[in-house]
Amino acid sequence: MLEGFESHTVDVKGTEIAYVKKGTGPAVLMLHGFPQTKAMWSRIAPTLAEHFTVVCADLRGYGDSAHPPCLPDASNYSFRAMAADQVGLMHALGFEQFHLIGHDRGARTAHRLALDHPSAVLSLTVMDIVPTTELFLNVTRHIAGAYWHWFFLSQPAPFPERMIGADPDFFYETCLLGWGGAKLSDFDADQLADYRRAWRKPSMIQGSCGDYRAAASVDLANDQADISTQVQCPSLVFYGEHGVMNKLYDIPAQWRSRLSKMQSASLPGGHFFPDMRPAETAKILLDFVTHHSL
C-alpha cells in the first residue's frame, strides 16, 4: 500500500504494533482513525517522507496491529493504552521525540499522547475532532443522530459485534459515507480494499467496539481529570469544511483552551477529507511540520 515504505511490527509490552516507515530526518508519526488502517496515509505520507522520517502505524484493535480481547473495564482499549503503544513503538525505532499527526481516533490518541508524554511531542495535529468530553457531556439530538455509532459500538458485548459481523462491509461503509457526504468513489480503491480486509476480521470488529467502550468510560474519566491541562507544543487543528463535525461545532473554538499554541486549517470535504483531497492535505501537513522543525 505504501510503496517504498518498510513494513514491520514491534512488540510493545506484549502488544504487536504494525507500522510502515520511510525517509530520513526528524520523525513524524501518523495515526489513522475509525474504521480505517494506516493505509489511509498512502497518498499523503510519501510527500512528507521526502523531508522527514515518516512512520504510519495501526492502532491496537485495527489493521495489522494486535486485537486483544477487550477487558471488562475496556481499559486496554483506552486512548491512554493506545498512546503508550505508539510511544513504545517510536522509542523502539530510536525516536525519543517526534511530530504527531492523527485523524479521528488517531487524533484522540494523539491528544492523549501529548497529555501523557509531553516531552515526546514536537508538534501535534488533530484532524476533524472535538474533545471527547464535549461530545459526550453536551449531547444534543443532532449530535446523537450524526454520531450514533459512538453509542452503538459502546454497547456491551456481543451485541454490536454480532450485528456488525452479519455484514461488515455494509456497516463500516455506512460509517465511511455518513459524516460529510462522501461517496465510495472518493476513496482510493487499494486503500478501500485494505480497510475491508481488516474490518472483515472478527477480532478487528471487537477491537473497534473495545475502542468505543473505552471512550464512553475510562477515556471520558481521564479527559475530565485533565480538562484544564493544556498541550504546550505547537498544534494544528485541521478539519473538513463540509463535514458533520464542522456543522455541529466551532471546531477551533473547542480546542483553544486545550492547546496553548494553536493554529487551524480546513479543506473542502467531509470527515474523510484526507482521502478526498490527499495532495492538499499533504501540503498543509508538510508546511506545518516543516515550520516547527526549523
At 140-156, the pLDDT tens digits run 999 999 999 999 999 99
Has 242 been annotated as catalytic? no
Sheet hosting strand 27-31, strand order edge to edge: 6-12, 15-22, 53-57, 27-31, 98-103, 121-127, 231-240, 259-267
Task: Decide if pLDDT at 261 tops 80.
Answer: yes
Q: What is the pLDDT of residue 218?
A: 97
Q: What is the pLDDT of residue 178?
A: 81
Average pLDDT (223-238) is: 97
Q: What is the pLDDT of residue 208?
A: 97
CB 105 within 8 A of CB 61: no
Q: pLDDT (tens digit, 9 = 90+) per residue, 266-288?
A: 999 999 999 999 999 999 999 99
Task: Decide if pLDDT at 179 tops 90.
Answer: no
Q: pLDDT (tens digit, 9 = 90+) per residue, 77-104?
A: 999 999 999 999 999 999 999 999 999 9
Provide the b/e sequence for 206-234 (b: ≥16 CB within 10 Å).
bbbbbbbbbbbbbbbebbeebeeebbebb
- The single residue of 85, 104, 194, 219 carrying the catalytic annotation is 104
Question: What is the CB neighbour count within 10 angstroms for residue 148?
Answer: 12
Q: pLDDT (tens digit, 9 = 90+) per residue, 42-71?
A: 999 999 999 999 999 999 999 999 999 999
Q: What is the pLDDT of residue 235?
A: 98
Q: What is the pLDDT of residue 294?
A: 75
Alpha carbon distance 89, 87 (integer Å)? 5
Burial of residue 189, with CB atoms counted within 10 A of its CB: 0-12 exposed, 13-18 middle, 19 or more buried: exposed
Domain ranges of the chain: 6-291
Q: What is the pLDDT of residue 200?
A: 98
6-291 classified as CATH 2.40.480.10:
no
CB 213 within 8 A of CB 77: yes
Task: Decide if pLDDT at 181 tops 90.
Answer: no
Task: Decide if pLDDT at 254 tops 90.
Answer: yes
Query: In terms of Cα–Cα distance, which of 12, 15, 43, 11 is closest to 30?
Result: 43
- The single residue of 32, 99, 103, 271 carrying the catalytic annotation is 271
pTM of the model: 0.98
Average pLDDT (244-263) is: 96
Q: What percent of the chain clears pLDDT 90, i.e. is strictly above it?
A: 96
Has 271 been annotated as catalytic? yes
